[in-house]
Structure 1
Amino acid sequence: MIFTYNQKSVGDVLMVILADHQGQKLAAERKGRVTRIYRLDNQQTVAWNIFDASQIADLSGSGQIELSEDSLARFNTELGKEGFTEILEKDAEPKFVVGEITAMAPHADSDHLNICQVRVTDERTLQIVAGAPNAKVGLKTIVALPGAMMPNGSLIFAGQLRGVDSFGMMCSPRELALPNAPQKRGIIELPSTALVGAPFDANKHWSA
């Protein structure tokens, strides 16, 4: 669940992104200050827009933000007041973490994509389709997990690349908007001592 707020560019609206609509047609229903956006095919809620948001709770920041427990409770009260039964929940798990490529195989329908198995915790390995020319088994890099928002505002969701499931993205320095990032293609390369699963820290994980 991604919370974004940009009063200067968008207005006093808290936007909450729950899921990728996967190209399906969307509809919206508004009650009071709250708009629910959902897929027509299965009625799944994919986003909320909450208007006059700063009148409901104190908000600060521009772009992706974190809500305090008090602010979250206030917005959930607003949803309930308008008759919505769903609730907003904070996702405290980091969305950018150190990962290690443990296996890699060529994509059968591409001359540059590889199907990588990437360990992101001791217990969790994700399949990620990637075209980075420097990807190799044993490489440690920064992984954007499903639900991440990139510095340019794009969102990472589980999906498919040429028919193969992919559950995240291995990031280049440029995609992470790191200072003095090289312009050439390639994911960030971390030392072998980097701890798998550690949250991304630009001061710790990057030096130009």
Structure 2
Amino acid sequence: MIASYNTHVGDVLLLVVANDEGKKVTFERKENIARVYQEDTGETVGWNIFEAKSLLKSLTELSKNGEVKLSADDVEKLNTALEKSGFADKLTYDAQPKFVVAEIVEMVEHPDSDHLHICQVNVGLEENVQIVCGAPNASLGLKTVAALPGSMMPDGALIFPGELRGVPSFGMLCSARELELPNAPQVRGIMELSDDLTAGLAFEPTTMWHN
């Protein structure tokens, strides 16, 4: 679940719980909560929580719009609000870090591209994940940063499982520029982290990356 706060349309907490896949969506509103869902399937893809600061006190400390990290207690309060408004859906708290240290453990060339690589990546989960990457510096054994599904990039882009030229990709490997880090090199290429870092650790730019 991706959460962001937006004052441009009022005191609203926006929750994305699934990829709408570019399909037409509509909504139903009950009291101060609107469920956003795909028209053809009825699948819930998001929620708009109006007058959000009155519901979650943690939001009162926000100084700008953008992504917010919800605690387990926040999610519990939101589920209570959904139930009171007459919705049967339940939100799931996800403690998994979304930007993590990643290690490329296998890499082959994409069969339908002259620059893409199909990487098997250790991100600290039970099994390695497959990420398609076009960075010229991608290499076997490289420690870098992966944005996992359910993450929001600094430019607002949402990361979901997808495909690149027909090959499944579970997230993306990131450059310092894409993460908008201070003094990020303005060149193509994913981040190169210390070999000493353990795959799966939450990425902390102040201690794990220096330029």
TM-score by length of 1: 0.94
- Where has structure 1 moved over 6 Å in runs of 4 or more? none
Alignment RMSD? 1.4
Change in CA separation of 1:35 and 1:140 when aligned onto 2, cut-off 3 Å: same
Deviations 1:2-53 (A, max 9, x none): 111132x332011111111112221211111111111123221110001111
Deviations 1:125-183 (A, max 9, x none): 11001100000111110000000111111111001111110001000000111110000
Deviations 1:99-143 (A, max 9, x none): 111111111111111111111116321100110000011111000
Moved more, 117-126 or 176-185: 117-126
The residue number in structure 1 matching 2:15 is 16
Q: What count of residue pairs does the alignment treat as equivalent?
A: 207
The residue number in structure 2 matching 1:132 is 135
User: Deviation at 1:67?
Assistant: 2.7
Conserved? CA contact 1:122–1:196, under 8 Å: no
The residue number in structure 2 matching 1:160 is 163
User: Deviation at 1:69?
Assistant: 4.1
User: In the alignment, does 2:105 pair up with 1:102?
Assistant: yes
Change in CA separation of 1:194 and 1:25 when aligned onto 2, cut-off 3 Å: same
Conserved? CA contact 2:6–2:14, under 8 Å: no
User: Deviation at 1:74?
Assistant: 2.8
**Residues 75-94 of structure 1 aligned to structure 2 (within 5 Å):** 75-94=78-97
* Structure 2 runs not aligned, ≥5 long: none
User: Deviation at 1:186?
Assistant: 0.1
Deviations 1:59-102 (A, max 9, x none): 13231112344433332222112210112222111001111111
Conserved? CA contact 2:17–2:45, under 8 Å: yes
TM-score by length of 2: 0.93
Conserved? CA contact 1:99–1:142, under 8 Å: yes
User: In the alignment, does 2:8 pair up with 1:5?
Assistant: no
Q: Take 1:29 and 1:198, find their aligned partners in 2: how far apart are those partners?
A: 39
The residue number in structure 1 matching 2:34 is 35
